[in-house]
């Protein structure tokens, strides 16, 4: 019997993050002249929330808490898309789907899922912070 080749590890490097211009455009439409600072306020709120949720992901990984990972992925999914962090939103969709499909309490691959979310989250955080500094 031929042994199965080892499966390659998933690439955990974050996708090059460029915030989606269409998503940012929708936010700009809420405050066309920028006088109310909607874009800056939304990005700043996302920055704060994402930083907190990345800490929760690390804690969930350390505790092998798949339910907490599902919760964070679900929370980040729409907020990431709303600010244009599409790679993070996509990773959240995939991780949430995979975790919900796992047998109850299964933690196989959990650390890898969390590492992907953290990598994408940190890349999105850097992109958002760069916009806030501009």
Helix (H, G, I), strand (E, B) or coil at 119: helix
Please report whether residue 73 resides in a domain.
Answer: yes
Total number of domains constituting the chain: 1
Spell out the residues 6+ positions from residue 132 whose beta carbon is closer than 8 angstroms to its own. 40, 43, 44, 47
Residue ranges of alpha helices (H) inside 6-109 are: 21-29, 38-62, 66-83, 86-101
pLDDT digits (tens, 9 = 90+) for 112-125: 999 999 999 999 99
Please report whether residue 11 resides in a domain.
Answer: no
Please report whether residue 102 resides in a domain.
Answer: yes
What mean pLDDT do residues 61-71 have? Answer: 93
Per the structure, the complete domain to which residue 96 belongs is given by 21-133
Using a pLDDT cut of 70, give the percent of the chain over it.
86
Report pTM.
0.83
Q: How far apart are CA 71 and CA 106, in angstroms?
A: 15
User: Element (H or E) spanning 65, and its range?
Assistant: none
């Amino acid at each position: 019997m031929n042994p199965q080749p080892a499966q390659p590890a998933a690439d955990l490097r974050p996708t090059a993050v460029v915030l989606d211009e269409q998503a940012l455009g929708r936010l700009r439409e809420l405050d066309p002249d920028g006088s109310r600072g909607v874009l800056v306020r939304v990005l700043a709120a996302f920055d704060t929330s994402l930083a907190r949720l990345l800490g929760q992901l690390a804690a969930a990984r350390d505790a092998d808490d798949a339910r907490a990972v599902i919760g964070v992925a679900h929370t980040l999914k729409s907020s990431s898309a709303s600010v244009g962090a599409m790679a993070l939103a996509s990773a959240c969709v995939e991780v949430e789907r995979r975790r919900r499909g796992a047998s109850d309490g299964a933690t196989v691959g959990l650390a890898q899922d969390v590492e992907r979310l953290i990598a994408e989250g940190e890349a999105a955080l850097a992109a958002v912070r760069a916009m806030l500094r501009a």
